[in-house]
Structure 1
C-alpha cells in the first residue's frame, strides 16, 4: 500500500490518475458539510480529537496486519508529526474553530482558497518550482471565480474577529503543510505515515481541548453520522488522496484544486440545506473550472 501503484496495468493506472483530482475535490468539499452537521453538538477541538483517535483505532490494526514498513529514524517520524500538525490541527482546527465562532462556511472556504497563490509563490523559493504566466493567469481566474461564488456570504458580514484569525491560521497551516509534505514526506507509507501524523494531531488537539473546552458531546444521530463520515471519508480517504496528488504533481498544481472546493461545497449544500446559486455564482464556478484547467492541463503551465 505504498504511495506508488507500480503493479497496476497502464490503462487502469491512467484512469485512476485521471479520476483522483475530481474525487479529491468532492471528498474534501464534504468536510465543510460534515463540520456544519457536527459542530452544533460538540466543541471544535473535542470534535477533532474524537475524529483523530477513531482514525488511529482504524489505522493501527491495518498497519500491523499488512506489515506496513515503519519509519527508519526519529527524524522521519518528526517530519510526519510536523506535517500532521500543520494539515490536521492547524488547518482543520482553524476551520472548525472559525465555524464554531460564527464565521460562515462559505467565507471560511474563500479565505482558505487563497492557498494556491501562496503555494505558487513559495514553491519557487522552497521547492525549485517555477510557475509560468499561464499558470498565474489560471490561479488569478480561480481566485476571482471563488470570490464570485461566495460573494453573497461576504455581504452577510465578516463575523467575529477571532473567527477570521482562525481562518487565517488555517490558511497558513494548509499552505505550509502542502509544501512540507512535498519536501519531507514524499516517500511516506500511507498506513504508518498517517498513523504518526494522526497520533501527533490527536495528542495536541486533545491537550488543547482539555485546556480550553468543556468536552461536552451530544451523541445525536447527526453528530454520529458527521463523525463517521469525517473519519472514514475525509481523514482516511481525502487526506490519502491529497498525499498521493502531492507526490505525483507539482505543489502549485495540487494546490490549484482547492479553488474547486467552495463551488463544489455550494453544490452539495444546495439539496441538503436549500442554499441556491444565482447566475453570478454559476459564472464564478465557470471561472474556477477554466482557471484550474489552465494550471493542470498539459501544455507547460509549470516550468522547472
Structure 2
C-alpha cells in the first residue's frame, strides 16, 4: 500500500511537469480533451475485454458527475485560471486547502471521521507546502494575473476536485473500476471540449513530441495516476489519499530543479521535509485497511 501511495504522488507530480512540456505543442484543454477521450477508450476496451460489468442506467449519472468533477471541471478551471494569468505558486497555495476541504466534505457527506493525529498532520503538511511555494509568493502577488476572477477559478478548481474525491467514496465505489473510469474519462473529455470552445484553443503541433505527450498523459497520468487515486480511495479514507497529494507540488519542484535547472532555496527544502512529516503523520495507511462499502443512495 505504501509503495502504491508513493507511486501515486510521483505520477501526480509529473502532471505539473507535463504542463510545462506541452507549452508550444498543444493548448492545455485541447491536450486534456484528447487525453480524457483516449483514456476513456482504453478503459472501455479493457472493461469489454475482461467482460467487466457496467453500471446500471440509474447509477450512470453518478459516474458521469464524478468524471466531470475530478477530470473536466477540476483541470478545466485550473487551466483557465492559469491561462488568465494566475501564477502557479498561487495555484499550488490554493491547492494546499484540498485535504482540509476533503476532510470536512467527507464528514458531512459520508460521515467519514478523521483522527486528531490526522488533523494535525494535515495542518503540518499544509504549512510545509506554504514554505515550498513561499519564495514565489512575493512575485506572484504583484502579478497582474492575480484577480478576483482568477482566484475564484482557482478556488473552484480545488473545490470541485475535493467534491470529486469525496464522491468517489459514495455508492460508485462498489462498481467495477475499469468500466467506471471509462465513463468518468469520457465525461471529462466532454467538459474539456467545452473549455476548448470557450477559450478558443486550437493549437496541436503535428510533431512526434505532441503525440508522445498525449500517450504519456493517457497511459501514465490517467491510466496510472488517476487509476491509482481512485483505487486507493476505495481502499482508504478520502482524507488520507487527499493529504498524500500535498507531496506532489514539492516533488514537482525537485523534478523541475533537475529537469529545467530551476533553483531551490533552503526554505523550500525545509518545506519539503515539513510536508513529508505532515503527510506521514496524517496519511499513514493502517495495516489491513480495506474499503468500507457504502450503501447506495
Q: Same fold (TM over 0.5)?
A: yes
Match of 2:250 among 258, 263, 272: 263
In structure 2, what is the equivalent of residue 27 of structure 1? Answer: 11
Following superposition, the deviation at residue 40 of structure 1 comes to: 3.3
In structure 2, what is the equivalent of residue 282 of structure 1? Answer: 269
In structure 2, what is the equivalent of residue 302 of structure 1? Answer: none
Instruction: Note the aligned Cα RMSD (angstroms).
Output: 2.1
Between 33-42 and 155-164, report the one with greater CA deviation.
155-164
**1:24-173 alignment runs, 5 A limit:** 24-71=8-55, 73-158=56-141, 159=143, 160=145, 161=147, 162-173=149-160
Tell me, in whole angstroms, the C-alpha distance in 1 between the residues paired with 2:269 and 2:13: 17
Change beyond 3 A, Cα 1:199–1:291:
same
Deviations 1:21-64 (A, max 9, x none): 10000001101111121143333322211111221332232222
Decide whether the 8 Å contact of 2:132 with 2:267 is kept in 1: yes
Decide whether the 8 Å contact of 2:94 with 2:154 is kept in 1: yes
Structure 1 unaligned spans of 5+: 1-16, 300-304
Decide whether the 8 Å contact of 1:129 with 1:250 is kept in 2: yes
Tell me, in whole angstroms, the C-alpha distance in 1 between the residues paired with 2:285 and 2:212: 40
SS of match in other structure, 1:157: helix
Tell me, in whole angstroms, the C-alpha distance in 2 between the residues paired with 1:231 and 1:153: 31
Decide whether the 8 Å contact of 2:75 with 2:157 is kept in 1: yes
**1:219-234 alignment runs, 5 A limit:** 219-234=206-221
Change beyond 3 A, Cα 1:136–1:56:
closer
Following superposition, the deviation at residue 249 of structure 1 comes to: 0.7
Decide whether the 8 Å contact of 1:109 with 1:261 is kept in 2: no
- In the superposition, the TM-score normalised over structure 1's length comes to 0.87
Change beyond 3 A, Cα 1:188–1:109:
farther
In structure 1, what is the equivalent of residue 281 of structure 2? Answer: 294
Structure 2 unaligned spans of 5+: 287-297
SS of match in other structure, 2:256: helix
**1:169-188 alignment runs, 5 A limit:** 169-188=156-175
Change beyond 3 A, Cα 1:38–1:260:
same
SS of match in other structure, 1:167: helix
Decide whether the 8 Å contact of 1:110 with 1:262 is kept in 2: no
The runs of 4+ residues in structure 1 deviating greater than 6 Å are: none
Following superposition, the deviation at residue 248 of structure 1 comes to: 0.8
Tell me, in whole angstroms, the C-alpha distance in 1 between the residues paired with 2:284 and 2:205: 46
Number of residue equivalences: 284
Tell me, in whole angstroms, the C-alpha distance in 2 between the residues paired with 1:248 and 1:297: 13
Between 127-136 and 158-167, report the one with greater CA deviation.
158-167
SS of match in other structure, 1:130: coil
